Amino acid sequence: MAVTMAEITKLRKMSGAGMMDCKNALNEANGDIDKAMEIIRKKGQAVAAKRSDRDASEGCVLAKTTGEFAAIIALKCETDFVANNADFVKLTQDILDAAVANKCQTLEEVKALPMGNGTVQDAVTDRSGITGEKMELDGYCFVEGTVTSVYNHQNKNGLCTIAAFNKEVDAQLAKNIAMQIAAMNPIAVDEDGVSEEIKQTEINVAIEKTKAELVQKAVDAALNKAGINPAHVDSEDHMESNKAKGWITDEDVAKAKEIIATVSAEKAASLPEAMIQNIAKGRLAKFLKEVCLLNQEDILDGKKTVRETLKAADAELQITAFKRFTLRAE
The verdict on 63 and 173 lying in the same domain is yes
Terminal CA-to-CA distance of the chain, rounded, Å? 56
Residues 9 and 125 in one domain: no
Q: Given pLDDT bands bounded at 50, 70 and 90, which one contains residue 24?
A: confident
Q: Which domain holds residue 255?
A: 196-288
Same structural domain, 281 and 208: yes
Domain assignment present for residue 304? The answer is no
Taking residues 144-166, report their average pLDDT.
Answer: 97
Please give the tally of structural domains in the chain.
Answer: 3
Considering only residues 311 and 131, tell me which one the structure prediction assigns the higher pLDDT.
311
Residue 133 domain-assigned (yes or no) = yes
Same domain, 66 and 180: yes
Residue pair 161/128 in contact (Cβ under 8 Å)? The answer is: no
Q: Same domain, yes or no, for 90 and 176?
A: yes
Q: Do both 168 and 233 map to the same domain? A: no
Verify that 63 and 182 share a domain, yes or no.
yes
User: Does a structural domain hold residue 132?
Assistant: yes
Q: Do 231 and 159 belong to one domain?
A: no
The answer to whether position 294 is within a domain reads no
Residues 127 and 270 in one domain: no
Is the domain of 210 the same as that of 133?
no
Q: Are residues 275 and 219 in the same domain?
A: yes
Question: Residue 64, exposed/middle/buried by CB under 10 A (0-12, 13-18, 19+)?
Answer: buried
Q: Residue 168's domain is classified under what CATH number?
A: 3.30.479.20
The domain spanning residue 34 has which CATH number?
1.10.8.10
- Chain length of the chain: 330
Of 51, 44, 105, give the one whose Cα is nearest residue 73: 105
Alpha-carbon distances of 325 from 160, 173, 297, rounded to whole Å = 6, 21, 21
- With cut-offs at 50, 70 and 90, classify the pLDDT of residue 16: low
DSSP string covering 224-262, please? Answer: HHTT--GGGSSSHHHHHHHHHTTSS-HHHHHHHHHHHHH
Work out the average pLDDT over 53-77.
92
Report if residue 303 sits inside a domain. Answer: no
In a domain, 275, yes or no: yes
Instruction: Say if 310 falls within a structural domain.
Output: no
Distances (CA, A) of 253 to 41, 149, 241, 250: 69, 61, 11, 5
- Whether residue 53 is contained in a domain is answered as no
Mean pLDDT computed over every residue of the chain: 91
Phi, psi of 157 (to 5 degrees): 60, 35
Q: What is the dihedral sign for C-alpha 91, 104, 100, 172?
A: negative
Cα 125 to Cα 42: distance, rounded to the nearest angstrom: 9
**pLDDT, tens digit, 9 for 90 and up, residues 252-276:** 999 999 999 999 999 999 999 999 9
Over residues 277-290, the pLDDT tens digits come to: 999 999 999 999 99
Residue 57 CA to residue 100 CA, distance in Å, equals: 24
Burial (CB < 10 A; 0-12, 13-18, 19+), residue 190, is middle
Mean pLDDT in residue range 191-218? 94
Q: How far is residue 141's CA from residue 312's CA, in Å, rounded to a whole number?
A: 30
Distance of alpha carbon 166 from alpha carbon 70, whole angstroms: 14
Reported as a pLDDT band with limits 50, 70 and 90, residue 53 is low
pLDDT at 46 over 60: no
The sheet carrying 319-326 orders its strands as 147-152, 159-165, 319-326
Burial 264-284 (b: 16+ CB within 10 A, else e): beebeeeeeeeebeebbeebb
pLDDT class of 137 with cuts at 50, 70, 90: very high
Buried b / exposed e over 84-105, threshold 16 CB at 10 Å, is ebeebeebbbebbebbbeeebe
pTM of the predicted model as reported, rounded to 2 decimal places = 0.77
77 and 165 share a domain? yes
